[in-house]
Structure 1
């Protein structure tokens, strides 16, 4: 009888656990709500928003949820949310009209803090640097992308001076796919990505072409992730995902990586397996991305991706103060990433 060396035996015994360690665990599904807004405050407190004026909140790591419909906004599609604790959250309704609402009592009451009824007004994403400073971005109006800022925790919002709005090319817009096509780049700066006929990265007055599929209204960048190690000012490592959501199984030109603050980009060696609407850094090298055809992870900064689930999701977010990663999508899907 052959004796198996202890080290080999240990590796053999551990292999099955490793293979099943990385997976998506479904927490909830089966409602008519499509969820695109997700904010994970910490490993316990999670907020989510979606269609039909729906807002959800969990205080136990997503195991149970309190769902509500914002009174007077039952037909509004809330596609982005920023939550700061169990009581305070800001939600973005896309348009027409476009709204931003805030609660300070866990969703019992909501206050309209921004409203724009102009024809064509459509908000796409929202991001915050801290509990006071935030930014919201929207599709072009009169060929200029809309941007508004808050400096008082979302209580009031101000648009940029007219001459400071970025100019969009014909057919260029943003996707309200996961609320993550705009991200903080440093303590004062933000960056965002566009799609459509062209796909570009915007950093203040600098516009950089992205090597993603483009040329149609359904193509281009959907999400950008920025790794901030708090030493680089601004951050240098970026990953962009997107593709064509009308051809969501096609993996060509759906991801790009930059190591120099967006100045140059390269394609991954093994891309995510299809159109992806959201990407998120977990650690310096580990990322997760999701879309309508599945969930992929990378362990090398975005150069090689591995499909871990065929379940479709719109958004994936890591806890701002914690380690857990949650996902959400259509049919009321809420899940967590298990390692």
Structure 2
């Protein structure tokens, strides 16, 4: 009887910690890297070939749209406020930011920069009014612009305030999560390439993460609170390598620690589900941690670029290549 009770207890505990992936859509000739989960019901996605998708029923169905005049552009990040209003960026030159207020049926160009080398990487909004966009260095300066009217207009920082990048240092537009809010006023961002750093206000902190080559370094940063921050990345060209692909700080960057059991390869996105439970994904699979990011367990070998939890709710969705969209069952 004691053995049966112990077996039942183990089975029950395993069920409590089980996670699985429910595929919602796939087999489309597009890559999705932009994802914004407004609530358990409202999900926005953006990707290659001028594509946007919207669901208002929790992913049961998606309405797929092509943005007129931008059919060849790659929308790498999107920020949605509700079922009708969203802002998104198109990578590469010219750098473009678009906004919709009618559910994605029409889009207005609210920003454009035609300078050679302009490449927007990610968007972040503190609230429905205040937002920030970050882009690769131009003439050695990391591009940053701000909006204070919900994305209707954007203004670059004064030239002297742009952060300086080292040679070969840039950002990866892999999931729209290399910049995130730290608190109600500040944002943090990570760089990669030949040098990989965490930028917190005036601090530029070198990361103990693989770097030194064009496709190495940090890809994504997630913040639980001002002290607890996690960063993932790796080597995109060797996406099953687990060497120095994740780093955590519990004191706002004063010290960094690497996981005892790291994620199972290159990872392009990471997010907190709770303080202890996290999820990360990349081209070689999906991993979860239940101890604050110190130990990771692989739950799928399927390729995904981005994973997000609902801003208002508990639903978690993923998206990636071939138009693949999935939901985390947890």
User: The TM-score by the shorter chain falls in which range?
Assistant: over 0.9
The equivalent residue for 2:244 is: 253
Match of 1:328 in 2: 319
Q: 1:16 to 1:301 in 2, by over 3 A?
A: closer
SS of 1:208 mapped into structure 2: strand
Separation in 2 of the partners of 1:176 and 1:89?
18
Listed as ranges, the gaps of 5+ residues in structure 2 are none
Can you list the C-alpha shifts for 1:15-73, whole angstroms capped at 9, x where unaligned? 67457x31111111100010000000000000000000000000111110000000000
Supply the RMSD in Å over aligned alpha carbons: 1.3
- Equivalent position SS for 1:247: coil
Paired position in structure 2 for 1:140: 137
Residue in 2 that maps onto 1:121:
118
Aligned match of 1:204 in 201, 204, 211? 201
The partner residue of 1:164 within 161, 165, 185 is 161
| Runs of 4+ with deviation above 2 angstroms | 3-19
Q: Within 5 Å, which residues of 2 pair with 1:15-164? A: 17-18=15-16, 21-164=18-161
Match of 1:236 in 2: 227
CA distance in 2, matches of 1:13, 1:171: 50
Shift of 1:10: 3.6
Among 308, 312, 323, which residue is 2:299 paired with?
A: 308
TM-superposition CA deviations, 1:98-143 (whole Å, max 9, x none): 1100001101111001111111100001101000000000000000
The question of 1:287 aligning with 2:283 is answered no
- In structure 2, relative to structure 1, the CA distance for the partners of 1:13 and 1:292 (3 Å cut) is closer
Tell me, in whole angstroms, the C-alpha distance in 2 between the residues paired with 1:197 and 1:191.
20
Structure 1 residues without counterparts, runs of 5 or longer: 229-234
SS at match of 1:297: strand
1:218 pairs, out of 212, 215, 219, with 215
1:265-314 Cα distance to aligned partner (Å, 9 max, x none):
11100000000000000001110000000000001111000000000100
**CA drift at 1:338:** 0.7
Normalised to the residue count of structure 2, the TM-score between the two structures is 0.97
Quote the Cα distance in structure 2 between the aligned partners of 1:34 and 1:301. Answer: 30
SS in 1 for 2:115: coil
